[in-house]
Amino acid sequence: MTAAQMILSSALWLALVVLGLSFLLTVWRVIKGPTLPDRVVALDMLVGIVIGFIALIAIRTGFTLYIDIAISLGLVGFLATVAFARFILAQGRGDETAEKEASKVIPAPPLAPKRKRASSRKPGAGPAVSGKAKK
């Protein structure tokens, strides 16, 4: 192993560890994030970190075709963020406070109260409806 390969290999390992750490921190924000825009911002950041992973794999394996995959992933991430912004505009904020109160009253899964708006039209069963009744 020449000196150049050794430098590159150790830098790649260190960068993979650092990227994995930042990936875990961002995933923690996605899970914990108190509001919906927090989660969307963290998902956007997650796409950026995955692009970094793809670049590191491209250097490791020598396939420069991975750059095209990174570019297309960036395009998909941008479109997803724009769509999420439209979704936040369309959905409003009323569900968010309800979600907080519902999760205080009963330990429901965090995704369940978000469907409250759809499920409030037809009074079916579910943790969101019972949380509203308790309030």
Partner 1 sequence: MIEVLIALLTALLILVGAGFALVAAVGLTRLPDVYTRMHAASKAGTVGSGLMLLAVALHAGDLSTLARALAGFFFFVLTAPISAHLLAMAAHKMGYPLHEKSVRDELNDYRN
Residue with tokens 């992933």: 73
Q: Name the one range near partner 1 by CB under 8 A: 70-78, 98-106, 108-116, 121-129.
A: 70-78
**45/54 Cα distance (integer angstroms):** 14
Which of residues 31, 76, 88, 125 is near partner 1 by CB under 8 A?
88
Report the C-alpha gap between 88 and 104 in whole angstroms. 23
The token pair at 34 is 């108190």
Is there a contact between 32 and 23 (Cβ–Cβ < 8 Å)? no
Closest approach of partner 1 to the CB of residue 113, in Å: 17
Question: Are 130 and 116 contacting, i.e. CB atoms less than 8 angstroms apart?
Answer: no
Binding site for partner 1 (CB under 8 A): 2-5, 7-8, 10-12, 14-15, 18-19, 21-23, 25-26, 28-29, 35, 37-38, 40-42, 44-45, 48-49, 51-52, 55-56, 58-59, 62, 64, 66-68, 70-71, 74-75, 78, 81-82, 84-86, 88-89, 91-93, 96
